[in-house]
Structure 1
Amino acid sequence: MTAPLVIIGTGLAGYNLAREFRKHDSETPLLLITADDGRSYSKPMLSTGFAMGKDADALGMLSAGQMAIQLNAEIRTHTRVTRLDPDNRRIWIGNEPVCYRDLVLAWGAQPVRVPLAGDAADAVFPINDLLDYGRFREAAKGKRRVLIFGAGLIGCEFANDLLQGGYAVELVAPDAQVMPTLLPPAAATAVRRGLESLGARFHFGVVAERLERTASGLQARLSDGQCLECDLVVSAVGLRPRTELAEAAGLEVGRGIVVDRFLRTSAEHVYALGDCAEVGGLNLLYVMPLMSGVRALSRTLSGTAVSVSYGPMPVTVKTPVCPLVVSPPAAGSEGSWDIEGDGNDVTALFRSADGRLLGYALTGTAVQRRLALNKELPPLLAELPQALALTPST
């Protein structure tokens, strides 16, 4: 019996890879394994559900059974892989070995946990998948006050969504502005003011240290001694690529699972894709680079080696109260920000000393400039020279 292509994960990376692979190969057995219920959904929609009035069932698109039919695949749900065994070309699910032709690790990233004292430390909701969203949505029934840990991209998106859904929202963050790793201060101020216009309250330069249950809900004590009353807490302090099983199996791991430009790990016949992968030193937790990887890897797995390249990859942030598109300069880039505009309409351009555009942040009506500016940006990962691009896959 032919060993299957095995994909671990049924999020955007896993399911989109399976769809693309089936366009090139309709015969190879395909097995997808997931720790959740395997419903197909769009993860970016998780931070739009309250404004749209949609629960988890409404955000789900197809069941695991429907996806299995569509993909001509076997899908094993609520199943956790416990060990990778690349030397013998198999994985383990408890005491059950599963052999593979090729293995793709598409299991994403996990929420960073906030260390908290107090008797309600377990009452913090990360929202990283559809099941998380369903649990939070159920807990939010009849509640009004939401405290968000973190004011980065995800924290601001959830704040906008919850505010539009009728909730009172406060955000706690250790930095002095929103999205400090993505935005210059002028653009960050525009986003903050937009959210404040909806009623958001920000607490910068502090962290939550304790979370206690009270007669009326929850109380969070901050590092400056301030106490905030709330009914629900959302953790949006960041994501960390899942690397533990890969590292235990001897695969090279950095920020994520290290792969080459063909998305090959350091073990033969093992690939990594999406949020868990580190490609060319980059670990990008966004949809555009994920889909670039999907298109390339689907061809490689079907017999035609295709390397990954990233052009400009701007990120559209879902804060409709203050539209935002950002293409941050690469880490270590030398240059400075030029700021134009004021209020909610800010154009921030990061240029090198010789005037080359290396990144931008656009807010409000300035987002209309994104297409023109994208033409000036350098690629994040340039295409490989032809000789290297034609290197066959293992």
Structure 2
Amino acid sequence: MTDPVVIVGTGLAGYNLAREFRKLDGETPLLLITADDGRSYSKPMLSTGFGKNKDADGLSMAEPGAMAEQLKAEVRTHTRISGIDPGHKRLWIGEEQVHYRDLVLACGAQTIRVPVEGDASQAIFPINDLEDYARFRSAAAGKRRVLILGAGLIGCEFANDMSAGGFEIDLVAPCEQVMPTLLHPAAAAAVKAGLESLDVRFHLGPVLTRLQTVADGLEAHLSDGSVIACDLVVSAVGLTPRIDLAAAAGLQVNRGGMGGWGVENSRAQFGGLGGWAEVACPNRLCGGVAGNGVMGTELKTSHANIYALGDCAEVDGLNLLYVMPLMSCARALAQTLAGNATAVSYGPMPVTVKTPACPLVVSPPPRGREGQWTVEGQGGDLKVLCHDADGQLLGYALTGTAVMEKLALNRQLPALMA
């Protein structure tokens, strides 16, 4: 019997790769392995659930059994891989050996744990997957005061969503502005003002140092001496790649810098900080991402027949944790797995941020391209553009009504990666 293609992870990366592969190959055995419950859902929708009054079941799109039938695949849930043997193309689940034809690591990233003193650290909730969301919704029943840690894209989306869902929001981050490495200060000020119109209270500069239980809830003590009363804390301080499995298997990993394999090697390397990684704020990840890196454009790792995809993929030095680049990678890798080796290419990759209080679309300039920024508009309706010395549009940030110009501007943008 033919050994299966094995995909580790059933998030957007894993399931979308399986769908794309099945369009090209309906016969090769396909096995998906996940440590969670295997339900299909869209991770970006986690930051819209409260505003839409949807629980975890409401955000789920399909149960694992339905996905297995749809994909002509076996889906093994609540299952952890204990080791990989690249030399013999096999992995272990406990004592069980599973041989693979090709292995795809789509294991994503995990939330960074913030060290906080006090007796209430259990009241700090990351929301990184559907099960996290379900736990937080359960804990939030009957509560109204939420403290959010992190002013990056995710922190701002949660602030907007939870405010729309009826919560009182305080947001703490050691930054001077929201989305500090993603947005020009003018656009950041517009987004902050939009969220403040929903009564979101910002505490930019200090960090949370102590979380203490009190009679009527929690007290959050900040490094500047201020104290915030709250009932729950949401951690949106950033993600770190799940690289332990890859490292233990002897794959090339990169835990902090960009080095490693060059594009000419067409190889993949795990761990890395690159692309649009939202990291500013000294010594902290402010709602940002630290990526697991695939260096090269065919998503290959340093071992034959092992690939990486999704939040653990740094493609040619770019680590883009968004749906559009993920789908580009899934389509390319599906072709490669089906026998047609295909390199990934990125056109313009604008990001729509889910902050209805101040609509926002942003397309940062390509890595290594320098330009001058200009700001047009007023109030919450801004067109912030970056042009190079020859007048070529490199990137933009559009807020408010200016987002309607995104399609016209997208046609002027250079590709991120040819």
TM-score, structure 2 as length reference: 0.90
Separation in 2, partners of 1:238, 1:351: 30
Matched, 1:65 2:65: yes
Contact 1:246/1:257 (CA < 8 Å) preserved in 2? no
Residues 332-347 of structure 1: matches in 2 within 5 Å? Answer: 332-347=368-383
For each residue in 1:248-290, what CA deviation from the matched residue of structure 2 results, as whole angstroms up to 9, or x when unmatched?
2221223123242111111000000111011100111100000
Contact 1:9/1:33 (CA < 8 Å) preserved in 2? yes
Superposed structure 1 runs of 4+ greater than 6 Å apart: none
Separation in 2, partners of 1:129, 1:198: 26
Output the amino acid matched with 2:51: A
Residues 1-394 of structure 1: matches in 2 within 5 Å? Answer: 1-254=1-254, 255=272, 256-382=292-418
Separation in 2, partners of 1:330, 1:237: 24
SS at match of 2:50: helix
SS at match of 1:175: coil
SS at match of 2:155: helix
Percent of aligned pairs sharing the same letter: 69
Contact 1:259/1:272 (CA < 8 Å) preserved in 2? no
Separation in 2, partners of 1:244, 1:364: 42
For each residue in 1:119-177, what CA deviation from the matched residue of structure 2 results, as whole angstroms up to 9, or x when unmatched?
11222111010000000011110000000000110000000000100100010010011
Separation in 2, partners of 1:180, 1:132: 26
SS at match of 2:62: coil
Q: By how many angstroms is 1:88 displaced?
A: 1.3
SS at match of 1:258: coil
Separation in 2, partners of 1:64, 1:211: 38
- C-alpha spacing 1:116/1:144, structure 2 compared with 1 (3 Å): same
Aligned length: 382
Separation in 2, partners of 1:212, 1:167: 20
Output the amino acid matched with 2:142: G
Output the amino acid matched with 1:20: E
Separation in 2, partners of 1:372, 1:267: 42
For each residue in 1:293-336, what CA deviation from the matched residue of structure 2 results, as whole angstroms up to 9, or x when unmatched?
01111111011111110000000000011100000123443222
RMSD: 1.0
Output the amino acid matched with 2:363: S
Q: By how many angstroms is 1:355 displaced?
A: 2.1
SS at match of 1:278: coil
Output the amino acid matched with 2:125: F
Q: By how many angstroms is 1:353 displaced?
A: 2.5
Q: By how many angstroms is 1:14 displaced?
A: 0.4
For each residue in 1:4-45, what CA deviation from the matched residue of structure 2 results, as whole angstroms up to 9, or x when unmatched?
000000000000111111111111111000000000111111
SS at match of 2:51: helix
For each residue in 1:48-71, what CA deviation from the matched residue of structure 2 results, as whole angstroms up to 9, or x when unmatched?
000111000011011111111111
Separation in 1, partners of 2:241, 2:408: 33
Contact 2:293/2:317 (CA < 8 Å) preserved in 1? no
With 90-99 and 27-36 compared, the bigger mean Cα shift is at: 90-99
For structure 1, the residue ranges without an aligned partner over 5 or more in a row are 383-394
Separation in 2, partners of 1:124, 1:92: 33
Contact 1:106/1:272 (CA < 8 Å) preserved in 2? yes
SS at match of 1:297: helix
Q: By how many angstroms is 1:84 displaced?
A: 1.8
Separation in 1, partners of 2:238, 2:382: 26
Contact 1:39/1:63 (CA < 8 Å) preserved in 2? yes
Output the amino acid matched with 1:104: V
For each residue in 1:66-110, what CA deviation from the matched residue of structure 2 results, as whole angstroms up to 9, or x when unmatched?
111111111110011122211111112222221100000011111
Q: By how many angstroms is 1:213 displaced?
A: 1.1
Contact 1:252/1:258 (CA < 8 Å) preserved in 2? no
Q: By how many angstroms is 1:339 displaced?
A: 0.7
Contact 1:258/1:266 (CA < 8 Å) preserved in 2? no
SS at match of 2:193: helix
Residue aligning to 1:385: none
Contact 1:259/1:266 (CA < 8 Å) preserved in 2? no
Separation in 2, partners of 1:336, 1:108: 35
Separation in 2, partners of 1:259, 1:62: 33
Contact 1:33/1:76 (CA < 8 Å) preserved in 2? yes
